[in-house]
């Protein structure tokens, strides 16, 4: 049910309610002016219109409830789909992180083995580089 259809039905209900109110005013005026037979006919007409308005209002309410249930169901399904997508993305992210961690661990082990091998092959170079690095760090810290 679109907004235009909803507004049209609402306007129709309001029109029915206005008609019933007009008939009530007419009944009041006629009952004070006319005899009881005419008043009974107006009452019957009024009751008929009132019953029809109540039926349309009841139908309108049930249509609104049905539309609300439909929209609620759509929203629930959409939420479940989004939840499934988020879970899939989460699982893919966890898998990629695990792969990255394994690759980083492997790379770090390789580099530490290379560094250890270089220190074993040329220990004096390693001592010289360590002393140079210590000197640079000391200079930078003393500048502050």
Q: What is the DSSP code string of 109-133?
A: HHHHHHHHHHHHH-HHHHHHHHHHH
Alpha-carbon span 48 to 19, nearest angstrom: 12
Residue 32: pLDDT over 70 = no
CB 85 within 8 A of CB 55: no
pTM over 0.75: no
Sketch the domain layout of the chain as residue ranges. Answer: 3-142
Q: What is the pLDDT of residues 49-100, one digit of tens each?
A: 777 877 887 888 888 889 889 999 999 999 999 999 999 999 999 999 999 9
Alpha-carbon span 36 to 30, nearest angstrom: 9
Higher pLDDT, 140 or 20: 140
């Amino acid at each position: 049910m679109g907004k235009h259809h909803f507004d049209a039905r609402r306007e129709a209900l309001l029109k029915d309610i206005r008609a019933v109110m007009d008939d009530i005013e007419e009944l009041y005026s006629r009952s004070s002016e006319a005899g009881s037979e005419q008043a009974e006919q107006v009452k019957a007409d009024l009751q008929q219109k009132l019953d029809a308005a109540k039926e349309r209002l009841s139908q309108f309410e049930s249509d609104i409830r049905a539309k609300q249930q439909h929209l609620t169901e759509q929203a629930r399904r959409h939420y479940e789909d989004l939840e499934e997508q988020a879970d899939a993305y989460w699982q893919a992210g966890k898998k990629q992180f695990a792969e990255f961690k394994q690759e980083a661990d492997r790379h770090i082990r390789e580099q530490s083995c290379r560094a250890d091998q270089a220190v074993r092959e040329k220990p004096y170079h390693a001592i010289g580089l360590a002393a140079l690095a210590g000197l640079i760090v000391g200079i930078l810290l003393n500048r502050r």
